[in-house]
Structure 1
Amino acid sequence: MSIETSLKEAMAIDGAIGVAVVDYESGMSLGTLGGGQGLDLEVAAAGNTEVVRAKTRTLATLGLNDTVEDILITLGRQYHIIRPLASSSGSLFLYLALDRVRGNLALARHALKRIGNGLEV
């Protein structure tokens, strides 16, 4: 599915606040949807790029022959889920901000996995 379709499907997840497809080599988002006041998705994309890079470096330093399935950042009122994509480029991730009251973390992770697996760039 296209980036636009993937973003729309991610925003259909209960509690979704904003979503982005991000290239963590450049820190640039390839597409965003949602966000708004209090959640600048371009800034979040760039900042979460550093999170993904740090985790990738840590895995390499530890000598772990494994991949990151997802990264969860828990805030007081939100969950932020970062899901690296197993794409041909190998440098993309999906980023979803989820309202903790309206969303279901387990269902959101499941949906994001499905969306990520179907995304074609």
Structure 2
Amino acid sequence: MPALEPWTLDVTPTLIITAALATRDFQDVHHDRDAARSRGGRDIFLNILTTTGLVQRYVTDRFPDARVRGIAIRLGTPCFAGDTLTFTGFRVDPGRIAVTGRTAAGAHVTGTVTVEP
């Protein structure tokens, strides 16, 4: 299957914090650097709801007429403030798109998006 056009996103502290608050995730590791570092993180990091939304955006930007019916993802390495997140993907079949989001540390997210074409 032909690869989809990649999407590269600079992950800023503002993106992480505003998206966490918008998804009502008030865990301090998503907005407080000291808390994130005290728990072993390099910095604040994306929450799973934000990652899910970014996966959906990647697919719907490439298939604007498709209706998303499901998203099945698995998180890998954390995506920290200052990272660059690059999404790639391909059509598995007419109703499924495989997506991977990678940082320099490795795969942040892998999964499939089920769409109604």
Does TM, scored on the shorter chain, surpass 0.5? Answer: no
TM-score normalised to the size of structure 1?
0.29
The structure whose residues are more often helix, as a share, is 1
TM-score normalised to the size of structure 2?
0.30
The structure whose residues are more often strand, as a share, is 2
